A and B are shown apart, each in its own frame.
Chain A
Amino acid sequence: MKPATFRIWRGDSQGGEFRDYTTEVAEGMVVLDAVHQIQATQANDLACRWNCKAGKCGSCSAEVNGMPRLLCMTRLHDLPIDKPVTIEPMRTFPSLKDLVTDVSWNFRVKKKIKKFKPRPPDAPDGTWRMAQADIDRVQEFRKCIECYLCQDVCHVLRDHGKQDAFIGPRFFIYTAALEMHPLDTEDRLGELQQTHGIGYCNITKCCTKVCPESITITDNAIIPLKERVVDEFYDPLGKLWKKLRG
């Protein structure tokens, strides 16, 4: 056990400040353990979302020493704890209190994406057949725990505030999972190009870097979607071909 200092953002939508808390840290501790310790002994009202503490629910997203992280999967061991560890809320979302932000925009965005629409069942008993190889990619996207760290780090949202015109990496992989689902028959390319703003992404791959589930967001989801949009709307020969075929 040795003491370490945590510089934690305390405040609300009106503003706030960093405050220092010193607490004992032990082997194996993660940042969320330190926050809990401080909450239990020094600041009962310190607001912080968390649920599973096992990297599965995606609730405890925040910025640790400036990096978007899950507090429950960030080990103190991997941080320079001889200096104060700064913990602040995700900056892309409006602040509610302390480490808690208003992420409701994400829930509204998801509702706007057309739902899954399967083809008729393959077998008389109402079931389908799919090969594992055909669903590997979709399963990768479905690992997403909706922590919104990718949304937090994306400069289109964070620096340019394009929330009204751009759905962000989380919802590109959501759309990709639906578009690449072997059973799905819906078409979402029109809105991807228009209201969902896939063109704003300039593939800097920041989202991929912060994904705690290691989903290859840019390469496996966004770029293939961009290609589909290009094929659909910007390919002159393709356009002509479609026109000729009626």
Chain B
Amino acid sequence: MEPPARLNGGVVEEKKKHMADYQNFEYDVLVVGAGGAGLRAAIESSAAGVRVGMVCKSLLGKAHTVMAEGGIAAALANVDDRDSWKVHFADTMRGGQYVNNWRMAEIHAKEAPDRVRELEAWGAVFDRTADGKILQRNFGGHKYPRLAHVGDRTGLELIRTLQDHGIHQGIEVHMEHTVVAILKDRERVSGVLAYERERGRFKIFKTRAIVLATGGIGRAYKITSNSWDYTGDGHSLAYHAGAELIDLEFVQFHPTGMIWPPSVMGILVTEGVRGEGGVLRNKDGTRFMFGDIPDNYKAQTADNEEEGWRYCQGDKSARRPPELLTRDHVARCIVREIKEGRGSPHGGVYLDISWIKQKLPKAAEHIQRKLPSMYHQFKQLADIDITREAMEVGPTTHYVMGGIRVHPDTQMSSVPGLFAAGECAAGINGANRLGGNSLSDILVFGKRAGEFAARFARENPAGVIDGDHVEEAVTQALGPFDRATQGENPYQIQRDLQEMMQDLVGIVRKEEEMARALKGLETLWERACKVGTSGNREYNPGWHTALDLKNLLTVSEAVTRSAIDRQESRGAQFRDDYPRKDDAKWGNVNIVLRKGADGAMQLRHEPIPLMPSHLKQVLDEMK
């Protein structure tokens, strides 16, 4: 591949760059990503007294965490004193269909309450109970009201609290920078190569430890609730640096995204709507969720509408309505209604919160107070007043349970010095994540990643930067400028990938379709190698889109290979050709991926370690 000749308005660069030409920074811990997990990790590392740098793709405070709506799950037991870490642990394992990393689920359930209380000490202002404590709401798969929240903008509260606390901690933040490669010194990490968006210059960040907190992969799909930066960067960077990925077949499709008008398709409609009493109906007005309640949830699910409503009103003797079953199941039921001809005019189903006016005085005000963003979003984007009429909704790609395989206690990956937290790490959620568990996940494991990365940095000297790797990565990254407008349009390749993944590796999967997707990925890889960019390096989104393709293609391949391999239906993975759960063969197995010596993706099965008796006992108690 030829190095670049024509850059920055025609300035000709030398054929071979030397590392001294790049701006250099040096830290003990470098955090990549500034959402909840990254910020929490950076705060913890800096509190440990090491030098902390942070690199993020967008401006500070704009990360995907702001879009989290419903709440943060923690067994505070403020609303229902029967709640405890044990119930939260059991709910998380049941929701994940028992292929979760049980140790992570245990740590998460035990530590989440402290992480929430800590936010309050840093200035967060959660909604309150009548006696002045943090209020908690109902959510899918959680036995008791467990989600601490601020209306339906909990993620904004969380990220702003961490941001406003973090800016006084001495963390150096490099905004609008994107990492293109993790650099290693033999086995361990020694730094990263990144480019800044503003001028398009490359920078080397030398560091003893890295915390990846880059979020998810939703932009691999056409219909998604995820923002532009969710291109699987952390997954892909870690994979190409030799780390293992796990559980990639499990991609969560949130049951309720907007579907009309077309330009808003995929935008999230919070599960909080159902937590506040919203119901799902098909075009005939039937509450179809009552017709399909899985056996393992029958005992804790209401069997009539009246009981479901009492649950939403806080009646402790009532069981939760079937709309609050886990997301994987609700999404599939919606797909079935649509496929069998009982969908709404624009190809979704109805989500109705306005009906509560039959039950509550001043229902319209109540809805506006509890779900202000939803009210605003539908009013402004779809001309729908949710206090008066039903919304039309359908599934949208929302979250990836799979990610970088990490040690449950330290969050270190299989590469020494490389840590990961939040959505890009895996284990806690198993085959399906419960709503509200991601905000607690990013805090609990963000903190741990920051703590152990700082410890690693203290205990290990700095590594050496591999100059050849830097040159190779820079040359590759500048390739699109050589091909300029002769090359393929990066937006077109991205779009073709999104359509293919949506159609062939979506909610309902079949071997033969996914095999076609693998073939399609080969073609897309070839096209991506020929991608071209017009313009120069300064804030050029065409170039950025071209560079993101490698990550999107890597994670799409990981999802597809894992999904083909798991020949059963479990949680978010639904196989039309293997519609049953196969506990004997798959109930105790995680699929692990890594990059082989030949550069090809290697897949292996790994048995889930035996659960210790004290946790088994918890599950038995909670049955």
Chain A contact residues, CB within 8 Å of chain B: 12, 26-30, 33, 39-41, 44-59, 73, 75, 96-98, 100, 103-104, 107, 110-111, 115-116, 118, 121, 126-132, 135, 138-139, 142-143, 145-146, 178, 181, 184
Contacts and interface: CB of A to CB of B under 8 A. Distances in A.
B539 A52 contact: no
A130 B59 contact: no
Nearest to B160: A142
Given A28-B260, A111-B168, A47 B61 contact: no
Given A51-B228, A56-B153, A111-B167, A181 B125 contact: yes
Given A75-B380, A126-B117, A142-B125, A45 B543 contact: yes
B580 interface: no
A27 B261 contact: yes
A59 B58 contact: yes
Given A28-B263, A40-B495, A55-B377, 19 more contacts: A28-B261, A44-B491, A44-B533, A44-B545, A45-B540, A52-B64, A56-B66, A59-B59, A96-B198, A103-B59, A107-B60, A107-B175, A111-B168, A115-B165, A127-B117, A130-B125, A139-B150, A143-B372, A145-B156
A26 B175 CA distance: 35
A45 B535 CA distance: 6
B392 to A, nearest CB: 12
B127 interface: yes
B66 A57 contact: yes
8 contacts: A44-B541, A44-B545, A47-B538, A47-B540, A51-B66, A52-B62, A75-B380, A129-B133
Contact of B262 (A26, A52, A53, A121): A26
B381 interface: yes
A103 B165 CA distance: 20
B373 A56 contact: yes
A97 B9 CA distance: 14
A111 B169 CA distance: 11
Contacts of B534: 44-45
A48 B197 CA distance: 11
Of the four ranges (under 10, 10 to 19, 20 to 34, 35 or more), the interface on chain B belongs to 35 or more
A144 to B, nearest CB: 8
Interface string B233-268: 000000000000000000000000000111110011
Contacts, number: 165
B361 interface: no
B123 interface: yes
Give me the 4 closest cross-chain CB pairs, A-B, nearest first: A28-B261, A44-B542, A45-B535, A129-B132
B539 A96 contact: yes
B541 A27 contact: no
Interface in B144-189: 150-151, 153, 155-157, 160, 164-165, 167-168, 175
Contact of B120 (A53, A97, A127): A127
B207 interface: no
B382 interface: yes
B54 interface: no
B263 A30 contact: yes
Contacts of A47: 538-541
Nearest to A70: B380
Contacts of B381: 28, 30, 73, 75
A53 B123 contact: no
Contacts of A57: 58, 62, 66-67, 227
A29 B167 contact: no
A143 B153 contact: yes
B336 interface: no
Dominant secondary structure of chain A at its interface with chain B: loop
B227 A53 contact: yes
Contacts of B268: 54
A44 B267 CA distance: 24
B376 interface: yes
Contacts of A143: 153, 156, 372
Nearest to B168: A115
A6 to B, nearest CB: 15
Nearest to A129: B132
Given A39-B541, A127-B117, A45 B66 contact: no
Nearest to A121: B121
A51 B227 contact: yes
A50 B544 CA distance: 13
B523 interface: no
Given A73-B381, A115-B165, A28 B127 contact: no
Interface in B519-576: 533-536, 538-543, 545
Report which residue of A33, A41, A56, A97 has the largest number of chain B beta carbons within 10 angstroms of its beta carbon: A56
Contacts of B261: 26-29
B552 to A, nearest CB: 15
A145 B66 contact: yes
Given A45-B543, A59-B62, A142-B160, A40 B491 contact: yes
A103 B541 CA distance: 18
B358 interface: no
B539 A54 contact: no
Contacts of B64: 51-52
B489 interface: yes
Contacts of B59: 49, 59, 103
Nearest to A99: B539
Contacts of A41: 491
B67 A142 contact: no
A146 B131 CA distance: 32
A130 B229 CA distance: 37
A126 B118 CA distance: 9
A33 to B, nearest CB: 5
A103 B60 CA distance: 11
Nearest to B372: A143
A55 B132 contact: no
B490 interface: yes
B120 A115 contact: no
B22 interface: no
A181 B123 CA distance: 8
Nearest to A36: B491
A28 to B, nearest CB: 2
B67 A52 contact: yes
A52 B66 contact: yes
B492 interface: yes
A23 to B, nearest CB: 13
A80 B261 CA distance: 19
A161 to B, nearest CB: 22
Contacts of B153: 56, 143
B67 A56 contact: yes
Contacts of B227: 50-53, 57
A97 to B, nearest CB: 4
Nearest to A76: B263
